[in-house]
Amino acid sequence: MRPLPVDENRRILGFHTAFTVVVANMVGTGVFTALGLQVVEIHDGIALLALWLLGGVIALCGALSYGELAAALPRSGGEYHFLGRIYHPVLGVVAGWVSVTVGFCAPIALAAMALGHYATSFLPVAPAVTATVTIVLVTVFHAVNVRTGQTFHILTTVFKIALIGLFCLAGLMAPSRGDVSYGPPAVTLTDILSPAFAVSLIYVSYAFSGWNAATYIAGEISNPQRVIPRALFYGTALVTVFYVLLNFVFLKTVPMARLSGSIQIGTLSAMNLFGERGAVLMSAMLCLLLISTISAMVLAGPRVLQVIGEDLPQLRALAARTAGGAPLRAILLQQGLALAFVATGSFEGVLSYAGFTLTLLALLTVLGVLVLRHNAPELPRPYRTWGYPFTPLVFILLNSVILFFVLRERPLAAGAGILTLLTGAALGLARHRRRS
């Protein structure tokens, strides 16, 4: 098996862009909304923080595994490229379909919807309107020129990292206003072994989704065999630290009764830290943070559609690029679908659906590390997964447990995810039969 040829003239992005794409894709809606859903059934502070630490371990195992695939098969497309090369082109089409319908469109919609809710504290505008306008404006920055989108993305991500760092510092120094209990060990263990803990991990997995983002733009990264594994690892490690600290601050500054069921966790915490005016300012900053998240997905997602267009004659139009190198039609298609998700208005439903589907796809991709080692041992691997085979096996085992409990506890969301996969399989099989 040999890697497909890639146009080296398109490799203009470096480590800083790849690193910020990972961080910006990860830090977004999930960490500022998931805790409110988790504390409904889990009440022990250690168990709640263990959710986020375990989520980081899972994401790091996935990042280390994806690093090997990206180094061995350095082309844009992410799971679409990996699964099509490792297993069968039909599975690649399934992954591409999921990327189109769930992988980027749903997270963009969720980030925009959360932004709309945060913006209500300082803008007298309906959340759906704010979400729609935000998606349109970010699209404009990315739709013409790659370097313009790259600069916009890096600046917003640097702001995001600085904001989270300052927020965590302020929360750690502030007096406690929360009422969460940490232990005793018997209570912690009971919560960790409960089905609610496993189901809550799907929200955590969604919050960590994006650790693989640099693989979607591999075809435009210089020296991808070295840059991508580093970007995946360091980006994921930094976000894990941020997530544990952020959730500790949320639990420290907001009573459990206020947290339960809320998706505006950041505003509640900021209000107790800085007062009402400070909370309004913090809400505005969180909106800018979510703009960075949307920007990262607009930078990465259309590259998947572009690669699909390069491979499938029926979708050749999606491969078209502007004079500035931007895949304009792919961007417009992705953003149009994201706007459709916004129109549904169902935050928790979209979150559960997206989390289940993306977790299943990531599991198949990490399993591909084992399959590729067996089927193509001669393939050059400039980077090999640290801790192999235990690293990918830990990722596969823990995500299998998550998927089992989501199937049992959230059958509607799981069923929608499986239906999406089956629809993609039908499209892939139809294409395969036509080509045969």
- Both tokens of 364, joined, read 């198949």
Q: Residue 429 is inside which H or E element, if any?
A: helix 411-435
| pLDDT (tens digit per residue) in 279-307 | 787 788 778 778 877 887 777 777 777 77
Q: At a CB cut-off of 8 Å and minimum separation 6, what does 306 contact?
A: 76, 318, 319, 321, 327, 330
- pLDDT of amino acid 76: 66
| DSSP-derived secondary structure for 56-120 | HHHHHHHHHHHHHHHHHS--TTTHHHHHHHHT-HHHHHHHHHHIIIIITHHHHHHHHHHHHHHHT
Q: Judging by beta carbons within 10 Å of its beta carbon (0-12, 13-18, 19+), is residue 255 exposed, middle or buried?
A: middle
CA torsion 335-341-347-350 (nearest 10°) is -100
Q: Is the separation of the CB atoms in 34 and 26 below 8 Å? A: no
- pLDDT of amino acid 210: 77
| Nearest Cα to Cα of residue 357 among 428, 418, 305 | 418
| DSSP-derived secondary structure for 136-193 | HHHHHHHSSBHHHHHHHHHHHHHHHHHHHHHHHHHHHHSPP----B---HHHHHHHHT
- Both tokens of 303, joined, read 């590259």
Q: Where are the domains of the chain?
A: 11-435
Residue type present at position 180: V
Instruction: Name residues of the chain where pLDDT drops below 50.
Output: 1-8
- pLDDT of amino acid 393: 96
- Both tokens of 261, joined, read 């069921």
Cβ burial 312-329 (10 Å sphere, 16+ → b, else e): beebeebbeeeeeebbbb
- pLDDT of amino acid 386: 87
CATH 1.20.1300.10 fits 11-435, yes or no: no
- pLDDT of amino acid 436: 63
What is the spatial distance between Cα 96 and Cα 193, in angstroms, rounded to a whole number?
35
- Preceding omega of 184 cis (within 30 degrees of 0): yes
Q: Is the separation of the CB atoms in 295 and 23 below 8 Å? A: no
Q: At a CB cut-off of 8 Å and minimum separation 6, what does 381 contact?
A: 68, 71, 72
Q: Is the separation of the CB atoms in 11 and 222 below 8 Å? A: yes
| DSSP-derived secondary structure for 230-279 | HHHHHHHHHHHHHHHHHHHHHHHHS-HHHHTT-S-HHHHHHHHHHHHHHH
Q: Is the separation of the CB atoms in 22 and 213 below 8 Å? A: yes
